[in-house]
Amino acid sequence: MKNFLILYLLVLSSQINAQNSSFSNRIPLSNDPGKSFLNLDQLLVANLIPVDANTDATLNNQWLLYNKPLSRLSDPEEFSTIILIDQLEELNKSTPFNVRHNATLERFIRVYLNDHREYLNKILGKSAYYFPVFEKYLDAYELPLELKYLAIVESALNQVAVSPSGAKGLWQFMYGTGREYDLYIDSYVDERFDLIKSTQAACLYLKRLYKTFGDWDLALAAYNSGPGNVKKAIKRAGGNTNYWEIRRFLPRETSSYVPAFYATMYLLSYANYHNLSPLKNQLSYREIDTVHVKGRLTFTSISELTGIDPEALRLFNPQYKQDLIPDIKNKIFSLALPVQLIPDFLSAERELYQKNLVIQEKSPLTLVIPVTLSNSYLVTVGDNLNSIAKKHGISFEELKNWNGLDTNFLIAGQRLVVTDQILTKPNPIGNLSLKELPKNKSFGQTSGFTTHIVEHGDTLFKISRKYGNIPIADIRNMNQLHNVNYLKPGTSLIIRTEPASHENKPVSKS
């Protein structure tokens, strides 16, 4: 499994070994290091109460439970190697892991403290949300609670993290491993992003790895690089099973993985001593609850009922890739909502399902509107579908449907249709504008015109042949299909069935 933190640590390791090398080429720890998944500034939830002073104090007290009862360090220069050795020995007494001092581990710890204190404070804040969930399932699977720190090394507690190799989620599962541990993945759902289900899968995988190797250092290394690489390293080391002795035979990333885990465990355990504190105004997991969904639901209908902003709904439920919870036989899906919104959802649950039954089947007449300068918006850096929809007074689903979007990803410079209205500005179609067509008839009934619904396999050439070899350029002009070669099934096209000059011919009086 690949992860962001280890990519960074590989660069860091080579810099540390060079002693005086600069830290100019740092690899970011996440896709979007400037944003916190649980930052309340990002959660536009109606009536969501911000963390107050009492809750804030509770979070700080929670962290005091994890920290050793030592006085805070008044001067960082007083943090000597002797003190670190003593602290690691104390930590080793309370964990089944092999927490021993060595020069590599100390270098990792000191670099974090010297250069990445802000990152550590963010992690402390996020952990108040995630750690209670991790601990609940680690305990249920009879695993050491310290394994909660592994998710920091894997994803920096970024629930929607995606590595360059395709590993996803808090626990960075690759596609194959995720499916092996019963994480459901299809075009609508990716349970690698599901907090609870991915945590359960990680517990099962870690339990199996420990059973295979009988040593937590080796199990951690296998979680990162795969059991096969660890077995090869043991063989190359002549059967030696000590991680620190075989790490030179492991992939470079994995050779830094276990030291990173122990450095993380130490720093969060002694956060109070090193004057680290969680960032304020973080959301508590106690403020979120889940309900089992009994049918197909769209995020739009949930948002309309509960008042939760669609963006917040996506943050709580990142496993649903298309803003849709599907209805799949023998599958149970859950919806996460702020606890104060759960009663509203449950009271109108039946109405929601009935409303969504109306659109259960995919309509073959999905309207994809051709892009023009007058009906579209130019995407700029920082835009997202939700903000664009709000700006133009349309729904999120309308924006996706009109543009035939299958994902929520945008690229600066692309144009999106933001209205389905026929604008007053003339839209040339041959020598005729849309506004000049008879208003009391549909295109399919208008003399000289018909409507063609695009089917699978249709091309402009095939459509041209079907309607008497009309010019392809005519079809493009009639439907604003300039620079468009792919026709999305269900798209409605206006087709001229008589010559373009027909409307200018005088009507015979004979």
User: Which has more pLDDT, 279 or 399?
Assistant: 399
State how far the Cα of 238 lies from the Cα of 215, in Å rounded to an integer.
17
Cα separations (Å) of 227 from 205, 218, 359?
Answer: 11, 9, 46
| Contact residues for 280 (Cβ-Cβ < 8 A; gap 6+) | 51, 56, 125
The answer to whether residue 279 is domain-embedded is no
Which tens digit of pLDDT belongs to each residue from 104-114? 999 999 999 99
What are the two backbone dihedrals, phi and then psi, of residue 34, each rounded to the nearest 5 degrees?
A: -80, -10
User: Which has more pLDDT, 431 or 183?
Assistant: 183
State how far the Cα of 278 lies from the Cα of 129, in Å rounded to an integer.
11
Q: Is pLDDT at 359 greater than 50 in this prediction?
A: no
Which tens digit of pLDDT belongs to each residue from 426-446? 333 333 333 333 333 333 444
Structure tokens at 55: 């809750």
Co-location of 245 and 347 in the same domain: no
The answer to whether residue 276 is domain-embedded is no
- Average confidence (pLDDT) over 449-473: 79
Q: Is pLDDT at 338 greater than 70 in this prediction?
A: yes
The whole-number pLDDT of residue 20 equals: 33
The whole-number pLDDT of residue 75 equals: 61
Domain stops at, among 380, 405, 425: 425
User: Which has more pLDDT, 459 or 439?
Assistant: 459
Strand partners, 431: none
Overall residue count recorded for the chain in this entry: 510
CATH number at residue 489: 3.10.350.10
State how far the Cα of 192 lies from the Cα of 159, in Å rounded to an integer.
9
Percent of the chain, pLDDT > 70? 72
Q: Is pLDDT at 270 greater than 70 in this prediction?
A: yes
Helix or strand run (H / E) with residue 13: helix 4-17
Structure tokens at 420: 């389905």
State how far the Cα of 2 lies from the Cα of 166, in Å rounded to an integer.
8
Q: Is pLDDT at 370 greater than 90 in this prediction?
A: no
Whole-number average pLDDT of the chain? 77
State how far the Cα of 93 lies from the Cα of 29, in Å rounded to an integer.
31
User: Which has more pLDDT, 421 or 126?
Assistant: 126
User: Which has more pLDDT, 371 or 15?
Assistant: 371
Q: Is pLDDT at 100 greater than 50 in this prediction?
A: yes
Which tens digit of pLDDT belongs to each residue from 486-509? 677 777 788 877 654 433 333 333
Q: Is pLDDT at 189 greater than 70 in this prediction?
A: yes
The winner for highest mean pLDDT among 57-61, 96-100, 283-287 is 96-100
Report whether 54 contacts 47 (CB < 8 A): no
- Average confidence (pLDDT) over 193-204: 97
Co-location of 143 and 32 in the same domain: yes
End-to-end CA distance of the chain: 83
- DSSP label at residue 492: E
Co-location of 12 and 32 in the same domain: yes
Cα dihedral 424/428/432/436 (nearest 10): -10
Number of domains in the chain: 4
Cα separations (Å) of 429 from 433, 460, 473, 500?
Answer: 5, 16, 11, 10
Domain stops at, among 269, 295, 311: 269
Report whether 339 contacts 291 (CB < 8 A): no
Co-location of 390 and 315 in the same domain: no
Provide the whole-model pTM: 0.61
Q: What's the half-sphere exposure (Cβ side, CA atoms, 13 Å) at 401? A: 14
221 pLDDT band (50/70/90 cuts)? very high
- Average confidence (pLDDT) over 407-419: 84
State how far the Cα of 65 lies from the Cα of 219, in Å rounded to an integer.
27
The answer to whether residue 277 is domain-embedded is no
Q: Is pLDDT at 51 greater than 70 in this prediction?
A: no
Q: Is pLDDT at 52 greater than 90 in this prediction?
A: no
Co-location of 411 and 433 in the same domain: no
Co-location of 348 and 374 in the same domain: no
Structure tokens at 331: 């599958």
Strand partners, 364: none
- Average confidence (pLDDT) over 451-476: 79
What are the two backbone dihedrals, phi and then psi, of residue 327, each rounded to the nearest 5 degrees?
A: -105, 100
The whole-number pLDDT of residue 314 equals: 92
Q: Is pLDDT at 3 greater than 90 in this prediction?
A: no
Co-location of 290 and 247 in the same domain: no
Co-location of 393 and 436 in the same domain: no
DSSP annotation string for 295-343: S-EEHHHHHHHH-B-HHHHHHH-TTBTTSEE---TT--EEEEEEGGGHH
User: Which has more pLDDT, 63 or 100?
Assistant: 100
The whole-number pLDDT of residue 350 equals: 79
The answer to whether residue 236 is domain-embedded is yes
Co-location of 465 and 438 in the same domain: yes
Angle in degrees, CA 399, 405, 406, rounded to 5? 130
The answer to whether residue 275 is domain-embedded is no
CATH number at residue 157: 1.10.530.10
The answer to whether residue 106 is domain-embedded is yes
Co-location of 417 and 461 in the same domain: no
The answer to whether residue 244 is domain-embedded is yes
Q: Is pLDDT at 167 greater than 90 in this prediction?
A: yes
Helix axes 103-115, 4-17, angle to 10 degrees: 110
Co-location of 306 and 368 in the same domain: no
Percent of the chain, pLDDT > 90? 41
Domain stops at, among 245, 269, 293: 269
Cα dihedral 164/170/176/182 (nearest 10): -160
State how far the Cα of 335 lies from the Cα of 285, in Å rounded to an integer.
14
Co-location of 72 and 143 in the same domain: yes
Q: Is pLDDT at 136 greater than 80 in this prediction?
A: yes
The answer to whether residue 510 is domain-embedded is no
Range of the domain at 456: 428-504
